Structure formats: structure tokens, C-alpha cells
Structure 1
Amino acid sequence: MDTHSLSAFLEVAEASSFSKAGERLHLSQPAISKRIAALEAALGTPLFNRVGRRIDLTDAGRTLLPYARRVLAELEDGRRALSHLSGAVSGRLSIGTSHHIGLHRLPEVLRSYTQAYPDVDLDIHFMDSEDACEEVAQGRLELGIVTLPRDPPDALRMQMIWVDPLSVVVAPTHPLLREPEPKRLPTLKALAAYPAVLPDERTYTHRIVTAALQAHGVAPRIRLSTNYLETLKMLVAIGLGWSVLPRSMLDDTLVALELPELVLSRELGAVWHRGRTRSGPARALLDLLAAAR
């Protein structure tokens, strides 16, 4: 039994798909199938039921799963601990981050990092912050650079890096800006009468916005949801609804509304697993992120 076969088993079990497991491990589907077959032969029992396109764990597979997770996690911790002995910052660092943070916050940090530590192999995955936190909690990624959850899972530790102020935004042609008394500030009640475009309800940003509105007895009337902030910006600019976006994204295609009773922000930062050893590359990146505050 080798770790490559165990890694393939774990990926197939979590994705319920040989092809998706291959994508995660950068292997072909036949290569994944070969590793699973070798593991099943070594153990003398099938690990998956294969019925059409459906893949489920057998009783043996379900029994093996927690042991495989522990073995691979311990080996990864050992690798990270050994990396501290030499003092050299090298090896693979797997990171999950959102598209917005990747576009607007990380470029300068990662440029400095790659120049300072050329022997680190950065493995960057772009995904929703919520998914990145889950991947770190499950041990599949070492670090997440994300919108920080207000109620983090027990498995995660967090480091706040940036405060990200948010603004309620509309198109320059939005009806709220054509009120008969242009000097009068719009109210939250007036805003809620118009459709909104927001991230979907499972996102941390959505929860921040709706909780703030609910504190004033207001609920948004959501027309469309998407988790890509650049797409939300476009939808607002063409007049499909109002939204809440980071102030760093404001330009002449948007108008930020003055709503004194609604002060919004979110925290961006790093998350890592509480029970896992941080590698040298991870520690070095966390130090650079702290300096970027």
C-alpha cells in the first residue's frame, strides 16, 4: 500500500468521481482507476460500488476512509515539521483564495513572496471563501486567504489582514437618484423597495449584509445572485439592481449611496488548520501578509 494510492482513494471518496479526483491530483482518469485497483488488490476487497456513473463507498471503503485521512494528515505534518529543520523555505504550498482577493489584494504580496522564496511551488486554487475554509478544515489545503467567517469552525485558526469597507451601490441611472428632492438621503426602506443583486445566501458576505439590514427591520428583494463580485458590479452598472461591494471596486460606472445608519465592512485574512503543523512556506507567507496590513 502506498500513499499515492491512498491519496487517490481519498479524492475519489470525497468527490464521488474518478474524473474529478483526477483533476484534483492532475492525473488522468485511467491513472486514478489504476491506483484504486492496486489498492483494492493489496487489501483484498473492493472499496467502491460502481453502478453506472454512480460511485459509492463499500463497507470496506467507509471503514478505511478515516484511517486514510489520518495517515495522510500525519505524513503531511511530518513533512512540514522536517521543513523547519533545514531552515530552508522550499516545497509545495497549497492555498485557496477568492477571485476578488486574488485580483485585488494578493498580487503584490505574491510577487514579493515568489521573489524572496523561488524554491516554493505555489499551488493556488480560486474558489469561494466558504469552500476554501472547508478545504483547509478538511486538510486538503494548507492556507486559505479569504473573507473571514464570523463564526469559524473549531478546526480553524484565523489571522485578520485587511478590513474591507463595503458600500451600497447603484447605477448612475437608478430611480433612487431621481427622487424629487435630490439632497435628501435615501432610506433603507426606500432602498429595499428596489431589487438587489447579491452573493448567494451561503456566503459570508451575504450574511454580513442581510444581518445588518435585518437589524433595521429591512429585508432585500433579491433578483439575482452570483458570487463573483466583478459580475455583480456589471449587473449593478447595467441597472439590474443595487448591491453591496467593496469600496475598492468603485468607479464612475457606480454610485455609492450615503446611508448613515448602515456602516458595512468585512474582514479578510488567513485561515489554517488548528491541529496541523504549518510548513516553512506557510509561515513565510503569513509573515508577508502581516506586513501588508
Structure 2
Amino acid sequence: MTLLSYEIFQTILEQGSFAKAAQVLHLTPSAISHSISSMEEEIGFALFIRGKNGVKLSSAGEEINPYIQRIVAAEQNLKQAVSQMKGLGAGKVNIGTINSVCLAWIPDIIRTFGEEHPQIAVELYQGSYNDVVEWVRNGTIDIGILSEAASDGLPFIPLMEDDLVAVVPKGYMPKETKVITPEDLKGQPFVIQQDSCDIDIIKYLDEYNLQVRANCHILDDQSAIAMVECKTGILLMPRLGLINPPEDVVIYPLYPRHYRKLGIACLSKDFLSPSARVMTQHIKDYVAQFTEE
């Protein structure tokens, strides 16, 4: 197997068909088919399942995919390093992150990074905590921004402590309420996000043995806040996710204080591509302005 065969494999996976991969790589369809056939013969298993709607990975293809992605990423990192040595500075960095970070930080990060490094392309992936971890592990992204509690043992670069807060329907709590305690939450209905998006909240509930009576099981922060607004329950969430909250909800800090630790996860701090290193430092500098306030 060769680097070209790995690149062909990756492109077929991205494009969903042999024909589209041939167009992207400027190769003939027969060359694409021959390359994959040679890989399958060498490995001893079929890598793709052909169907009317394109191709998808076989079980064997799923198993070797992370290794191929890492090889392709390593080749790209090498090219970027050589380019940097020659003073060209061109490159690409793939970032993965969660909903709240995507809304609060990413637009400014990408804009300011583009102004400082116009020669480096940025590709963004948004998903759950589980998605980001999987994307880092299989080489889809270079770096992921997520909570340390969800990083699953990946190398982690801390960025910021993001306080957890309670979002409550207006008028639901007594007027003198200044903070929300675990005692205040006992027996209350909750708006709950999926575990893959809300691991820090699940840990908080477990720590205080709070039984969840959930009327809504939501994926993203904005939908969850909307459910609070229509008085379906109380929402616990990180403060960063509060983008222009509606007037019909009240935000209370938790007492005792609880927070999630946001940071950057990667496969290896020592083997980041030059572009990923530059982006990592840019993100750290960007977030530092909030932690210094």
C-alpha cells in the first residue's frame, strides 16, 4: 500500500463514491478502482460496500479507517512542516467543537485567525462531546475544544473554567433568591440535555444525589433555554452557552460553585502540525482575554 492509496481511500470516504473521488483527485475511475482492489487484496477483506446510493465502509474498513486517517494526517503535517521551513507558511487545520463554544468563540477565532494567517485554511466540525473525541482519535480533526470531563484521556490543554448556572422560568423562584443550591433543586422538573452533550451536569446531579424528573431531553443549548421559557422545567448549563437569553428566564449561579474546565484535546501535543500549533496558540490567546477580566 502507498500514500496515494491511502489518499484515495480517504477521498472515497469523504465523497461517498468512486466517481466523485476520481474527479477530485484528477484520476480515472479505473485507477481508483484498481487502487482499492489492490488494497483489499493485500489486506484480505473488502473495504467498501457498494450500493445504489454510493459506497460506505465495510466492518473491516471501519476498523482500519482511524489508522489510515492518521497516516494521511501525518503526511499533511509533514508537508506543512516542509512548507514552513521554506518560508511558504501554507497549511490547513481542522477544528472540532461543541455547540456553546461554536456560538460564543468560534466566529471570532476564525475571523481573527484568518486576518493573521490568511495562508492557512480552517475547516470546522460541530458535534457532541463524543463526536469531538471520536474525530480527534480517527484523525478527522487536528484539535478539539471540549470539557476535560469528556476528553476520555486525550492530551488536554486547559483554557478556562466555565461556571455552571441554573436557568429558571421568571417568577418561579422566591424574589429573595440569589443563588441555587442542591436543596433548591430537589423534586424539581428538569430540562435535560443528552449525556453526550452534558457530562458535567450529569456529574453535578450525581454528586448531590439529585433525582431527575425530566420532561424534555434536548440536544442543543438554545432549544433547552426555549423549553425553560415555556415553563417545562429548570435547566442546568454552562454559562458560556447563554447567548442573548430571553427575558422570561432568570439566571442564577450555583452554590457551592461548580464549573466545567474547557480546553483543547489532541492526539499528541508533540506531533501537532505547524498550522495546528499556530491555531492552538491563537485559541489560547483569544480565551485569555476572558480569563483576565
TM-score (norm 2): 0.76
Q: 1:260 aligns with which of 244, 255, 258?
A: 255
User: Closer, same or farther in 2 for the Cα pair 1:79/1:172, shift >3 Å?
Assistant: same
Partner of 1:224: 216
- Contact 1:80 1:277 (8 Å CA) reproduced: no
Q: Which moved more, 1:183-192 or 1:267-276?
A: 183-192
Structure 2: any 5+ residue segments left out of the alignment?
A: 23-28, 289-293
Q: Distance in 2 between matches of 1:44 and 1:210?
A: 44
Structure 1: any 5+ residue segments left out of the alignment?
A: 13-20
User: Closer, same or farther in 2 for the Cα pair 1:119/1:84, shift >3 Å?
Assistant: closer
Which secondary structure state, in structure 1, belongs to the residue aligned with residue 149 of structure 2? coil
TM-score (norm 1): 0.76
State the shift of 1:269 in Å: 2.2
State the shift of 1:44 in Å: 7.1
Identical aligned pairs, as a percentage? Answer: 18
1:131 aligns to 2:131 (yes or no): yes
Partner of 2:185: 191
User: Closer, same or farther in 2 for the Cα pair 1:188/1:7, shift >3 Å?
Assistant: same
Partner of 1:246: 238
Superposed, which structure 2 residues align to 1:156-195 within 5 Å? 156-174=154-172, 177=173, 182-183=175-176, 188-195=182-189
State the shift of 1:243 in Å: 0.7
**Count, aligned residues:** 271
**What CA deviation, in whole Å up to 9, does each residue of 1:43-94 have, x standing for no partner?**
57372474867966387x6897677456434423422432441344322211
Q: 1:271 aligns with which of 262, 265, 287?
A: 265
Partner of 2:35: 39
Superposed, which structure 2 residues align to 1:92-131 within 5 Å? 92-131=92-131
State the shift of 1:148 in Å: 2.2
State the shift of 1:229 in Å: 0.9
Which secondary structure state, in structure 2, belongs to the residue aligned with residue 75 of structure 1? helix
State the shift of 1:142 in Å: 0.8
**What CA deviation, in whole Å up to 9, does each residue of 1:151-174 have, x standing for no partner?**
6344x3222222211211111143
